[in-house]
């Protein structure tokens, strides 16, 4: 592969927040949310200029250690070479260290920007290659898959023995994912002021869990996929079955059955182990669930994700702890997007 040439215009990328795990789907399930970071990148005659606005503006590095820059550099290395200089402008809206996929958003933004910046980038690295590289940089595929593809994603790791357009070195584990279209539901996120690093949260997990807990989570994770894609409970209607009758009290066609989702979001693998590091979040999850609302720790926490019927977010207001931010967000169905990669701008 020869050294790449670069577009002369600026590349803009928009990436959504994500919530991983969703209760039982540890390191596998992810949901894209309508809260976005935006980056703008261009080639410069030399050096590196990084400006950051919004979340983390006074905290993140503005040099080669910036996560978007690191992902961008890794992508351009994979594509064959670096430009003489770069300018990067970041507008961050996804809270950092809260379990809403801020690091995945930065990595996906950098990889997509790098691919778009190189004139032959799209032909040299396909979408599977983008996911593989983003997973390699992030360490796990759940958030990056949802960020890239939008909607509900199921992600896993596999061994890759083919380089080519995948962009993944032979023999390294590679991230893979499938995307599903979720039924209508309203996510609500409760964001505390405190942060919790993913590394700290992972350090609280045991190396071995009881077989019964693993089996319970496998069943709940399967049920969760069914619930989020429109399957209804024992008294409801299976979405997509022509002529299936309405049952009194069941959700309208195309909406998530919240009673089924409440059962489907039970978890035994990670939330209880992490509760001592985020007691207020654990208490909020318990309170919401006691009132019949499906609620989980978002990712590694400490943000809490709850689900209500569309337009029903007022039902949760009484449960909001003092000082927490509440965001009523749509499910993002589009995923990450390069919104501009033209010349002459």
Give the DSSP H or E segment for 27: strand 25-44
- Distance in angstroms (rounded) separating the CA atoms of residues 170 and 334: 30
As annotated, the binding site for ATP includes 95-105
CA separation, residue 185 to residues 86, 227, 330 (Å): 41, 10, 8
- 257 phi and psi angles, rounded to 5 deg: -80, 105
As annotated, the binding site includes 95-105
- Distance in angstroms (rounded) separating the CA atoms of residues 105 and 146: 10
| Residue found by looking up tokens 């759940």 in the block | 142
Give 252's DSSP letter: P
Taking the alpha carbons of 239, 240, 241, 244 in that order, is the dihedral positive or negative? positive
> Bridge partners of 305?
189, 296
- Distance in angstroms (rounded) separating the CA atoms of residues 298 and 281: 10
- Distance in angstroms (rounded) separating the CA atoms of residues 86 and 92: 19
Residue 26 structure tokens: 């540890």
Q: How many alpha carbons fall within 13 Å on the CB side of residue 275?
A: 12
Pairing of strands 85-92, 25-44: antiparallel
CA separation, residue 226 to residues 50, 215, 326 (Å): 43, 17, 27
> Bridge partners of 21?
25
DSSP secondary structure letters along 320-340: PPTT-EEEE-PBPSS-SEEEE
């Amino acid at each position: 592969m020869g050294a790449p040439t670069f577009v002369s215009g600026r590349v803009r990328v928009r990436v959504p927040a994500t919530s991983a795990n969703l209760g039982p789907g540890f390191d596998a399930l992810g949901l894209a949310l309508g809260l976005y970071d935006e980056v703008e990148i261009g080639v410069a005659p030399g050096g590196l200029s990084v400006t950051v606005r919004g979340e983390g503006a006074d905290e993140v590095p503005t040099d080669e250690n910036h996560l978007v820059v690191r992902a961008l550099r890794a992508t351009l290395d994979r594509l064959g070479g670096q430009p003489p200089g770069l300018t990067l402008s970041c507008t961050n809206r996804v809270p950092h260290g809260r379990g809403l996929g801020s690091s995945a958003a930065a990595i996906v933004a950098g990889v997509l920007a790098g691919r778009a910046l190189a004139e032959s980038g799209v032909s040299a690295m396909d979408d599977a290659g983008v996911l593989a590289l983003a997973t390699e940089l992030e360490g796990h595929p759940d958030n990056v898959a949802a960020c890239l593809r939008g909607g509900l994603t199921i992600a896993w790791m596999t061994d890759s023995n083919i380089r080519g357009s995948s962009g993944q070195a032979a023999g390294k584990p590679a991230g893979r994912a499938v995307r599903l279209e979720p039924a209508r539901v309203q996510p609500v996120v409760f964001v505390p002021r405190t942060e919790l690093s993913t590394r700290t949260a992972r350090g609280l997990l045991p190396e071995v869990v009881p077989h019964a807990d693993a089996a319970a989570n496998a069943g709940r994770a399967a049920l969760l996929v069914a619930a989020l894609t429109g399957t209804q409970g024992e008294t409801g209607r299976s979405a997509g079955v022509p002529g299936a009758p309405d049952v009194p009290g069941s959700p309208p066609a195309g909406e998530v059955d919240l009673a089924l989702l409440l059962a489907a979001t039970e978890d035994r693998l990670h939330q209880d182990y992490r509760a001592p590091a985020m007691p207020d979040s654990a208490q909020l999850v318990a309170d919401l669930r006691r009132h019949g609302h499906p609620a989980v720790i978002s990712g590694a926490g400490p943000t809490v994700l709850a689900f209500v019927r569309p337009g029903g977010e007022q039902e949760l207001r009484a449960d909001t702890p003092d000082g927490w931010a509440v965001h009523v967000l749509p499910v993002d169905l589009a995923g990450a997007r390069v919104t501009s990669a033209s010349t002459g701008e």
